[in-house]
Amino acid sequence: MLNDSTTRTIFMAILLLSCTVTNAYASMFELEIVPISKIKEDPTVYDSTMAYRKISVIGNISELTKQSAILVDGQDSLKIDISRIELFDGFNINDQIMTTGEFIYEPVGESTLMPTYVLHYPIEDMGLVNISSIVSDPADHNGRYMTVVGNVSSREMSMGRYTITIVDSENNAMKIYYYGSTELGIGDDIKAFGLYNGNALHSESMTRNKSPLSITTLVPGFSSIMGAVAILSLALLLKSKQRND
């Protein structure tokens, strides 16, 4: 049986571990969420033609054509441009979505949101997904978070963004956009997490594919530095306990 002191030690260790876990949905794709009603009240505040900004809007698709969609939230509605039709692949009428983009105010005419990303809402994480599954049915994966693994076959840097192609063991290829800095290069086996939308994974994290026994695999978001700190702290706690006993 565990005594109270040991139980407290284990609890503190678990708490320390949990503090190092990052929120997978502290997302670059979810910016300032603005209700459609607020946009209707004062559209000039959100007009990106006056001051460049992006906002996120949540609602249900009530109309969906080749030119535009209508997003509704209660009694309020907003026109969504879908000239980038690939962003809406697999979405249907009545689906609840969150779309992030630029609001274009038209004093005479119909104001429109120009989307950059479209997500199923509430946000869905499909976990680890095979590239072959995505390639065979991209519509079923569009607008959802996921993790993919593969070998880097190409890497290009343009306008502050990496465009990376990864392939699996069957030579299925997938495009990844990555907006951070990285030393990963051609030939590296990588794991990437992010939003699949518009036939590409917009990655929020990208690392070398580690062993399944890695603490970063067992605890998503657990960094190697914080892992070392946690392990050292646990060792000190146990050593202190042994002295007190």
What's the CA dihedral at 106, 107, 110, 113 to 10 degrees?
Answer: 40
Distance CA 29, CA 103 (A): 15
Comparing 142 with 223, the larger pLDDT belongs to 142
Q: What is the pLDDT of residues 155-200, one digit of tens each?
A: 999 888 999 999 999 999 999 999 888 889 999 999 999 999 999 9
pLDDT at 50: 83
pLDDT at 217: 43
Helices and strands in the chain, H and E counts: 7, 12
CATH number for the region 125-218 comes to 2.40.50.140
For 58, left (φ over 0), alpha (ψ -120 to 50), or beta?
beta
**Contact (CB, 8 A) for 153 and 166:** yes
**Which fold does the domain 32-120 belong to in CATH?**
OB fold (Dihydrolipoamide Acetyltransferase, E2P) (2.40.50)
pLDDT at 107 over 80: yes
pLDDT at 180: 82
At residue 69 the predicted structure's pLDDT band, cuts being 50, 70 and 90, is very high
pLDDT at 4 over 60: no
pLDDT at 80 over 70: yes
- For 21, which DSSP code? P
pLDDT at 160: 83
Task: Give yes or no on whether 32-120 and 125-218 have one common fold.
Answer: yes
Comparing 47 with 240, the larger pLDDT belongs to 47
pLDDT at 84 over 80: yes
Alpha helices, H only, the chain:
4-19, 36-41, 43-46, 131-136, 138-141, 215-218, 224-244
Mean pLDDT of 228-233: 56
| Range scoring the smallest mean pLDDT among 13-27, 38-52, 100-114, 193-207 | 13-27
Residue with tokens 């900004």, as numbered in its chain: 53
Mean pLDDT in the chain?
A: 83
Angstrom CA distances, 118 to 2, 33, 53, 91, 221, stand at 50, 13, 17, 9, 24
pLDDT at 17: 42
Closest to 91 measured CA to CA, from 132, 20, 160, 144: 144
Mean pLDDT of 60-67: 93
Domain boundaries, the chain: 4-20+223-244, 32-120, 125-218
Mean pLDDT of 213-218: 46
Mean pLDDT of 67-75: 95
pLDDT at 119: 95
Distance CA 206, CA 161 (A): 13
Mean pLDDT of 7-11: 50
Q: What is the pTM of this model?
A: 0.74
